[in-house]
Amino acid sequence: MTLWEYASILVDSPASKPTLDELGAQGWELVSVLQGHTSSQILYVFKRPKAADPVLEAGSV
């Protein structure tokens, strides 16, 4: 089963291509874009697979 971690960014203007490219390079996938609390705010929501816990992977628990 894939476990996910999530991140969100609230900005006052559209995110730039270099910013989105950098997040993609870090493994983040853009899953939603929403209007923020005001009409000028934009909320970007990202997800990526959660890194495996090496302790759990080794069966040491």
Give the residue-averaged pLDDT of 4-13: 95
Name, in order, each residue with C-beta under 8 angstroms of 36's C-beta and a sequence gap of 6 or more.
10, 42, 43
pTM of the shown model: 0.78
Distance from chain centroid for Cα 3? 13
Question: pLDDT tens digits, residue range 23-50?
Answer: 999 999 999 999 988 889 999 999 999 9
Query: What is residue 58's predicted lDDT score, i.e. its pLDDT?
Result: 60
Q: What is the DSSP string of 12-49?
A: SSPPPHHHHHHHHHTT-EEEEEEE-SSTT-EEEEEEEE
